[in-house]
Amino acid sequence: MKIGYSFWGFLGSGITDTPDGGRSHRRPFIDALLDRGHDIVFLQADRDRLEAGDDLGSKYIFDGGFPDIEVLFLEWRWAIPGRNTTACGTEGHTCDLHRQAQLINHYTVRHQTPTVIWDKDRTLRAESVWRRTAHAVVCEAALAPTPGARSLLFPVAEDLLDHSDPAALAARPRDLVLGYVGNQYDRDEPFDRFFAPAAARFEHVVAGKWTKTDRWPHVHFLGRVPFEAATAVYSRSLATVLMLPERYAAAGQMTQRIFEAVLAGCLPLAPADILYVERFVPAELIVRSGSEVTERLSHLRSIAGTQQHADLIAACVDRLRLFGLSRQVDTLESVSHQLVQPAATERGAA
């Protein structure tokens, strides 16, 4: 089928000054859809070319108009005051929200085009009309999505899991006990509880946009780093802490940070209040307090490089199969076909 795909971000490495976490999984997801024979046209601005100067070998098609499509697929955008709510052309304006509104009005409203909304940030209101629209389906990257929504997790390629070598990862020298890559957004509470106490005891770094840090003078903040530098941080770190906004934790929504860390051999400690936490990490890596983080890190440091360490990495890799790329593509295909078939029947009857 022909899919019109709307996303605000990058397919390649992009630029440093952006919070686009989708770079870790968006391109593999799209390439897998292309490999299954679907046609994809991108409906937002080509930021790879315009901002990063990368045309990605002219492999992908972008269209700023309204091409004929069978399914509209939206990585959901929301209002960010002072950024995408301002007038077009004003300083600092991004047109993602305006363009999304155009696409919805043209396709979803006017032409009743089957529409899939991937609410990756859990910002779509529970009472949204799109949750009650017959030719639209909302997907969320959560194990317990909002009633009526489908679960579409952030994907990781199975090839990466199959070729992972836990023994080699465990043997790699690591000069940091604790590392974290990610932005501050809505993470102050878990940072206070789980990361900051351990950071007072162990060598660590935090990479990402953290603008209010006065309360943690002992923490080494690097600021934002290039996308590809995330792997370097995790490769130096024995462990990380999976810190989620409360709205993610309550729905069992894990971010792409878990497979970025695990595939670099960095063990993810996960707070126990994350719903279905046992599906994300083995029991040995579930923590309930900052003191438990400190205890687990001391233990992990004592077994670093051993078979026990390698076995823990292997157990984490095995749990990543929950996010398997083929499973997520299957989900999107299933949802899309369920929407397209009734629409095709109605057109035939007309």
133 and 66 together in one domain: yes
CA distance 281 to 255: 13
**Where do the DSSP E strands lie in the chain?**
2-6, 39-42, 71-75, 115-118, 136-140, 150-151, 176-181, 204-207, 221-223, 237-241, 267-271, 286-287
118 and 174 together in one domain: no
Number of domains in the chain: 2
125 and 183 together in one domain: no
pLDDT in tens, 139-153: 999 999 999 999 999
pLDDT in tens, 274-316: 999 999 999 999 999 999 999 999 999 999 999 999 999 999 9
pLDDT value of residue 339: 96
Whether residue 234 has pLDDT greater than 90 = yes
141 and 171 together in one domain: no
124 and 79 together in one domain: yes
234 and 343 together in one domain: no
184 and 329 together in one domain: no
Query: Rounded to two decimals, what is the model's pTM?
Result: 0.94
The two tokens of residue 188 are: 């102050």
> 122 forms bridges with which residues in the sheet?
none
8 Å CB contact between 88 and 98? yes
97 and 224 together in one domain: no
The two tokens of residue 298 are: 């001391």
The two tokens of residue 208 are: 């990402």
The two tokens of residue 72 are: 């509209």
8 Å CB contact between 177 and 238? yes
The two tokens of residue 34 are: 């292309």
pLDDT value of residue 348: 53
The two tokens of residue 79 are: 């209002």
Q: Which CATH number fits the domain that encloses residue 68?
A: 3.40.50
pLDDT in tens, 26-52: 999 999 999 999 999 999 999 999 999
206 and 240 together in one domain: yes
84 and 107 together in one domain: yes
pLDDT in tens, 167-189: 999 999 999 999 999 999 999 99
The two tokens of residue 218 are: 């002992």
Which domain does 249 fall in, by range? 158-323
pLDDT value of residue 19: 78
pLDDT value of residue 36: 97
Sign of the CA dihedral running 125, 131, 137, 142: positive
Q: Which CATH number fits the domain that encloses residue 164?
A: 3.40.50.2000
34 and 165 together in one domain: no
63 and 201 together in one domain: no
pLDDT in tens, 89-143: 898 899 999 999 999 999 999 999 999 999 999 999 999 999 999 999 999 999 9
Whether residue 347 has pLDDT greater than 90 = no
Average pLDDT, the chain: 95
